[in-house]
Structure 1
Amino acid sequence: MNKKCFGIVAILLLVIAGGIYKFIFQGSVSINADGRTAIHLNPEERDLVLAEMRAFLTSVQKITEGISENDMQLVADYARKAGRAAQAEVPGTLMAKLPIQFKQSGFDTHSGFDQLAMDAEDLGDSNDALSQLSLLMQNCVSCHAAYRIDSSGK
């Protein structure tokens, strides 16, 4: 009886480990013909991710405007809009479909915007803000080079 229970527990642990790998690390992905990782989302999830990217782009434009006008409050306001607070609306079902590297890059980018907001308010240095924005844009460029968002049609 002990061997039977041990076997069942071992199988269950393997299933759990597989689920953790699939939903935490791998996500719902495949390699696309262009070499990028295709993330497969349903149309609503895809729309949510693309809306977040457009919000990033709006923030980047307003931050750039704030830097050019030395309006560090504008920089802080729009950096904060792209910060960690923007992640609150992402459902767990969507997070499970995203590969770990994509999630890490997203978390880093949101945190970077929060740091930019704090530094813009505390330091008021447009050159520092521009440097931070340049680093954040590297995240965007590398993400777009590595991933594409495909609709699974479900």
Structure 2
Amino acid sequence: MCKTCWTITALMLIVILGMAYKFIVVGSVEQATDGRLSLQLEPAEKDLVMAEMRAFLVTVQQINEGVVQDDMKKVADAARKVGRAAQEAVPVSLMGKLPLDFKKLGFDTHTKFDSLALDAEQFGDKEQTLGALTELMQNCISCHAGYRIDLVME
């Protein structure tokens, strides 16, 4: 009796670990023909990710305007809008479809926007802000070089 219970428990643990690995690490991806990983998302999920990327782009423009206008409050306000707090709107179901490296890149990007906002407020140094923005943009380049989004219809 006890041997059967241990076998069932072990099998359930293997299934749970496999699901956790798929949910946390692998996500829902395929190798794309262009060499990138293709995120397999439903239309609403794609719309959400694309809206976030457009928000990043708008923020970069606002940061550039703030630097040119010597308005570091504008820089900080813009950057903070897409900081870590903004990622709370991402549903868990979507997070499960994203591979771990993509999630890490996204978390790091949000964190870098928060750091840029804090530095702009505390130091008001335009050169430092542009340096931070340059570093942050490397995340955008890495993401677009490594991933694309393709629709799956369910």
Q: CA deviation at 1:29?
A: 0.4
Q: 1:48 maps to which residue?
A: 48
Instruction: Structure 2 unaligned segments of length 5 or more: list them.
Output: none
Letter of the structure 2 residue corresponding to residue 85 of structure 1: A
Correspondence list, 1:28-107, <5 A: 28-107=28-107
Q: CA deviation at 1:153?
A: 2.0
Aligned-pair Cα RMSD in Å: 0.7
Instruction: Structure 1 unaligned segments of length 5 or more: list them.
Output: none
1-structure distance, mates of 2:153, 2:68: 42
1-structure distance, mates of 2:23, 2:133: 31
TM-score (norm 1): 0.98
Post-superposition CA distance 1:65-121 (Å, at most 9, x none): 111221101110110011011111111100110000000000000000000001100
2-structure distance, mates of 1:81, 1:140: 17
2-structure distance, mates of 1:7, 1:133: 54
Of 105-114 and 63-72, deviating more is 63-72
2-structure distance, mates of 1:51, 1:76: 21
1-structure distance, mates of 2:69, 2:130: 12
1-structure distance, mates of 2:57, 2:8: 51
1-structure distance, mates of 2:60, 2:104: 20
2-structure distance, mates of 1:84, 1:153: 30
TM-score (norm 2): 0.98
Greater than 4 Å deviation, 4+ residue runs: none
Aligned length: 154
Q: 1:148 maps to which residue?
A: 148
